[in-house]
Amino acid sequence: MNNTQFAIIVGMALGAIAIIAGFVPLLITAIGGAVGWLVAQVVSGRIDVSQLTGRAGDRR
With respect to residue 53, please indicate whether it lies within any of the assigned structural domains: no
With respect to residue 43, please indicate whether it lies within any of the assigned structural domains: no
With respect to residue 42, please indicate whether it lies within any of the assigned structural domains: no
Q: Within its chain, how far is the Cα of 33 from the centroid?
A: 4
d(CA 51, CA 48): 6
Per-residue model confidence as pLDDT tens digits over 2-55: 888 998 899 999 999 999 999 999 999 999 989 988 998 888 888 888 876 776
What per-residue confidence (pLDDT) applies to 53? Answer: 77
The whole domain housing 13 covers: 1-35
With respect to residue 49, please indicate whether it lies within any of the assigned structural domains: no
With respect to residue 58, please indicate whether it lies within any of the assigned structural domains: no
What helix, strand, coil percent values describe the chain, rounded to 5?
Answer: 75, 0, 25
Confidence (pTM): 0.68
With respect to residue 17, please indicate whether it lies within any of the assigned structural domains: yes
With respect to residue 19, please indicate whether it lies within any of the assigned structural domains: yes
What per-residue confidence (pLDDT) applies to 46? Answer: 87
